[in-house]
Amino acid sequence: MKILVRYGLTAALLGIGLTAPAAAAPRQDQERRSQQGEASYYGREFNGRRMAIGERFDPGSDSAAHRSLPLGTTARVTNLQNGRSATGKVRDRGPYARNRVIDLSLTLAISGQALVQKCGSEAM
């Protein structure tokens, strides 16, 4: 199942000193990008483990893992087969399987119906 990941990087995250206009116009200090590929979700064995951001993983959270997005980035994951999407925060690094773009908490994966494959010892 293919998914689409959209995310925005603000100027502060990029280290660029741009300011946003005061009006309700689109923000000039925000860059939007997307990636297409497969997603997976964290298995039960990850519950309570520390993530790269320092927090403990909670399967009921909106956590996601991405290889290169800055920690704290908000990412929208869309299931390309049914158009449903969910939004989460990048709080960890991964996925470590080459064929996947992002790992999701179980709650985030179910809400976007973007389930593909479980990550962890059972998926290896």
The pLDDT tens digits of the residues spanning 19-77 come to 223 333 344 444 668 888 888 888 889 999 999 999 999 999 999 999 999 999 999 88
Q: Look at 29 and 110; give whichever has higher pLDDT.
A: 110
For residues 24 and 21, what is the distance between their CA atoms, to the nearest angstrom?
A: 8
* Residue environment code for 44-66, b if the CB has 16+ CB neighbours within 10 A, otherwise e: eebeeeebeeeeebbbebbbbbb
For residues 12 and 98, what is the distance between their CA atoms, to the nearest angstrom?
A: 29
Domain contains 16: no
What is the residue range of 91's domain?
33-119
Domain contains 18: no
pTM score: 0.71
Domain contains 114: yes
Q: Count structural domains, the chain.
A: 1
Mean pLDDT computed over every residue of the chain: 73
In this predicted structure, which of 6-15, 16-25, 94-103 has the lowest mean pLDDT?
16-25
Domain with residue 61: its CATH number is 2.40.40.10
Domain contains 95: yes
Grade residue 91 by pLDDT with cuts at 50, 70 and 90. very high
- Amino acid identity for residue 11 in this structure: A
